[in-house]
Amino acid sequence: MSSARQKLTSRDLARLAGVSQATVSRVLTNHPRVSEVTRARVLKVLEEENFIPNSLARAMKTGRTETIGVFMSRITSPFHAALLDAIGRKLASRELQMIVWDLEHHPQEMATQVMRRRLVDGSIFTSAAFDSRPDKVAVDSGVPTVLVHRGLDDLRCDQVVGDNRRGARELGDYLIRCGHTRIGLITSPLTVSTGRDREHGFRDALKAAGIRLPAAYVVRGSYDHQDGHAAVRKLMALKTPPTAVFCITDILALGAVDGARSLGLRIPDDLSIAGFDNVAMASWESYDLTTVDQPTEAIVDAGVQLLIQRIHDPSREPTVTTLPCQLIIRGSTGPPSKHAS
Amino acid sequence: MSSARQKLTSRDLARLAGVSQATVSRVLTNHPRVSEVTRARVLKVLEEENFIPNSLARAMKTGRTETIGVFMSRITSPFHAALLDAIGRKLASRELQMIVWDLEHHPQEMATQVMRRRLVDGSIFTSAAFDSRPDKVAVDSGVPTVLVHRGLDDLRCDQVVGDNRRGARELGDYLIRCGHTRIGLITSPLTVSTGRDREHGFRDALKAAGIRLPAAYVVRGSYDHQDGHAAVRKLMALKTPPTAVFCITDILALGAVDGARSLGLRIPDDLSIAGFDNVAMASWESYDLTTVDQPTEAIVDAGVQLLIQRIHDPSREPTVTTLPCQLIIRGSTGPPSKHAS
């Protein structure tokens, strides 16, 4: 079935795509110096003409597997699913495959083995944690590696993250501008950069406004809807409950909204709730959640770009890229209710 | 780092796990005839002792890659994310890796190539469609293949699906028992077995009760929240709108709930809405969605089991396994309102 199709030459392709043969060749070899517009045009022609580059022959010549390892966790979390989706789309556009390891399912030693066996040309880590090892093993083993979404301060490798601290600071400033002085925090263990930086940004905002954060207003748990649900019920059982709650992820905030509703509370009249990430659900009518948008696509684009550059030039100095996040004000937040003050 | 750890022998492991050496060997070689309990116990010891079986050496001897190709679509849909999560967990427990291809991102020819290049020991398809080719290519190429979740009537390969037709029939019967006679249907193109079978089951229920389904009550679109949202608004703009709506997936139903809320309608007082799949969100307070539970874990367990058997015995006759689904009645449905009748 493919033999007839493969008679098309790169010269034919160049003509059809309206580019030079050299450009076609760059697209076929995943060269980083091709504009997205040009790449897309060439790939479109490739697809329309059912042209299959002989990846296997190329892999044998280059010693590359054309496969990237994606080490992640929490696939069922909407944010992480969207991240994986963006990574898959970006890698596919470069004709790269992805092997996905969920670090919650695989023993960490399996990731270590992958590096030793050179099953992948490079690795993307989305869930780096201060207490995890596989990302460090990847870097030590010399496998080109990029961290996206979560970073690690002390790891010498390319990293692309959102500006979580500034995003949370802006959200905190906004809640304070609304008139809140009793603001709760539903957060995670301090073992990941996203959680730590968002908590710091939130505390920065309170400190600048001279607002105290009593220990009783901080609920530190895990990352699921049910954790947000339980946490908000705990906060609202306090003698003087908060009038607003900042949850360090949207999924915790969605849980908090449902937990508040289970108590008969109206959002935002009785309680303002805000999250972080801007997952698709945050915009749905039932939640209409104030949050901070993480530039997921841009983080992934930059991360994959850096990874491909590193595969071609392993000696380049690693860079840490921090991309701005954007406050999104929706209906789940407002001024504190008169009854509560 | 690993050399010291690998000094542990399978005899030591057998002693620590309280099983025979033969059993340890079966677990290490992914033999299907080991109980989950035993496998888990041995794997736990493996993990605790940081014992790394020499997969690479084994792969070289057996000619296997220890890698399964997962061909899916719609990773960002909560149901498909849960499916991928279950597949990843199950494969990890067998020490198998997964390469994930999203068929929406990759040109179909890439899947074809994977089969030709024998990059994987076997393939799992979660999104088989009557108009797609890769699953057929997989089967034709002789790569062990299993379809899970969605089936294909005419494809000779192992398939594990939920009993979608019966599940939708039971849901339809229930809505009719509630007293509804004007029931809308928000559905998908008829190109996938799940959508087709659910629609058939729903029509079976109406037919058995002598209830008509006017063409205006059927909105056929795509699969996203926004499609359910738009569809319900279209239905409610009819001169005689339905009093209940069956959406063939939960994500469409969540969109329908939000679309109805955007019109100021109360659920279920003004409109009953039901879905299918029982995704995690369906149980959250804000939706509290009546739905049909698909046995996702059981479908994946059976599918992976069949795939591993097929890898060991390619000549076995293919089987189609249909697992029962369960009606879950929640707060999004009830009797039709008096105003509407």
What is the mean pLDDT of each successive set of 10 residues along chain B, which is 341 residues long? 45 81 70 76 66 40 74 91 95 89 75 70 88 76 90 91 98 98 94 94 98 97 95 98 98 98 97 98 97 97 96 92 98 84 45
* Residues of chain A numbered 26-45 and touching chain B (CB < 8 Å): none
Q: Is B61 exposed, middle or buried (0-12, 13-18, 19+ CB in 10 A)?
A: exposed
Q: What are phi and psi of B88, to 5 degrees?
A: -60, -40
Closest CA to A186 of A224, A223, A231: A231
Residue with tokens 């699953």: B135
Look at residue B9 in the predicted model and tell me its pLDDT.
Answer: 65
Rounded CA separation A53/A29 (Å): 9
B2/A contact by beta carbon, under 8 A: yes
- Find all residues with CB under 8 Å of B38, minimum gap 6, and list them: B19, B23, B27
Which residues of chain B does A280 touch, with a Cβ-Cβ cutoff of 8 Å? Answer: 76, 225
Q: What are phi and psi of B209, to 5 degrees?
A: -95, 0
Rounded CA separation A28/A39 (Å): 9
Look at residue B340 in the predicted model and tell me its pLDDT.
Answer: 52
Look at residue A191 in the predicted model and tell me its pLDDT.
Answer: 86
Model pTM score? 0.81
- Contact between residue B85 and residue A76 where contact means Cβ atoms under 8 Å apart: yes
Rounded CA separation A43/A41 (Å): 5
A92/B contact by beta carbon, under 8 A: yes
* Residues of chain A numbered 46-75 and touching chain B (CB < 8 Å): 46-47, 50, 52, 55-56, 67, 75
Phi-psi region of A211 (alpha: psi -120 to 50; beta: other; left: phi over 0): beta
Look at residue A189 in the predicted model and tell me its pLDDT.
Answer: 86
R_g (Cα) of chain A, nearest Å: 23
* Residues of chain A numbered 287-316 and touching chain B (CB < 8 Å): 287
Look at residue B1 in the predicted model and tell me its pLDDT.
Answer: 32
Three-state secondary structure of B135-167: HHHHHHCCCCEEEECCCCCCCCCEEEEECHHHH
Closest partner residue to B261 among A107, A119, A286, by Cβ? Answer: A286
Flag if A52 and B113 touch (Cβ within 8 Å): yes
Rounded CA separation B18/A139 (Å): 37
Q: List Cα–Cα distances, B43 to B14, B20, B28, in angstroms.
A: 11, 14, 9
Rounded CA separation A98/A304 (Å): 12
Flag if B102 and A82 touch (Cβ within 8 Å): no
Flag if B284 and A112 touch (Cβ within 8 Å): no
- The Cα of B337 is separated from the nearest Cα of chain A by a number of Å equal to 22
Flag if A99 and B101 touch (Cβ within 8 Å): no
Look at residue B117 in the predicted model and tell me its pLDDT.
Answer: 65
A257/B contact by beta carbon, under 8 A: yes
User: Residues of chain A whose pLDDT is less than 70?
Assistant: 1-10, 28-32, 46-63, 107-111, 114-118, 338-341
A240/B contact by beta carbon, under 8 A: no
- Consecutive H or E run containing A272: strand A272-274
Query: Helices A250-262 & A225-236, crossing angle to 10 degrees?
Result: 50
Look at residue A6 in the predicted model and tell me its pLDDT.
Answer: 41
Best of A56, A119, A304 to substitute, by most chain B Cβ atoms within 10 angstroms, is A119
Both tokens assigned to B99: 């390469």
- Using DSSP's 3-state secondary structure scheme, residue B340 falls into coil
First to last CA, chain B: 74
As for the ipTM of the complex, it is 0.79
